[in-house]
Chains A and B, each alone.
Chain A
């Protein structure tokens, strides 16, 4: 079966290699206010025209870089072809995606009712990534289960 919209299987490794430094950078930005100096734009207003949303003259792009790295890495891992991608693997893939979307929104609803105020911004931030993370975890759990249940 031809599966469309998948990347060659080597992208899984590339994704993992990209994910680790991007995640570390993301954590440093989030919890230590880390910023690369060379990613600073002095005249921020010329970049972002809408002044009310942009309080600072100076914009630093370290957080943009970290998030881009994490998202691209997760997309690579999620949508790299398995070494032997066939119709059964394709079905596991779709089932995992469905499962991930469902779990993601159940958790989002729970968080919506349980977490209030500024902390909710954290919820939304993590929620940008959890759908892909849940999908990757679920898909690999199913692959592992099927591999280990092989009897001959």
Chain B
């Protein structure tokens, strides 16, 4: 699964730490998601989408091997 977290974060001018504290996770979690090492839970995906005022599908995209 790919995601646009890094792009959306840049668009909203947020650091990893800013985003982490807004959705109540550690900075490592944001970093792991951005580097595609971690697929977040549905709850966390919805929180991220809500923060960026987008749908989940606009941020998280399936890849061919998923």
Chain A: minimal CB distance from B35 (Å): 7
**Residue A146, interface by CB 8 Å:** yes
Number of interface residues of B (CB under 8 A): 18
Partner of B40, one of A87, A89, A146, A151: A87
Tell me which residues across on chain A come within 8 A of B26, comparing CB atoms: 82, 84, 86, 88-89
- Asked if A1 and B43 sit within 8 Å, CB to CB, the answer is yes
The DSSP consensus for interface residues of chain B is helix
Tell me which residues across on chain B come within 8 A of A89, comparing CB atoms: 26, 28-29
Q: Within the assembled complex, what's the spacing in Å between the Cα atoms of A35 and B25?
A: 48
- Asked if A150 and B28 sit within 8 Å, CB to CB, the answer is yes
- Asked if B28 and A91 sit within 8 Å, CB to CB, the answer is no
Tell me which residues across on chain A come within 8 A of B51, comparing CB atoms: none
**Residue B41, interface by CB 8 Å:** yes
Partner of A150, one of B24, B27, B43: B27
Chain B: minimal CB distance from A14 (Å): 22
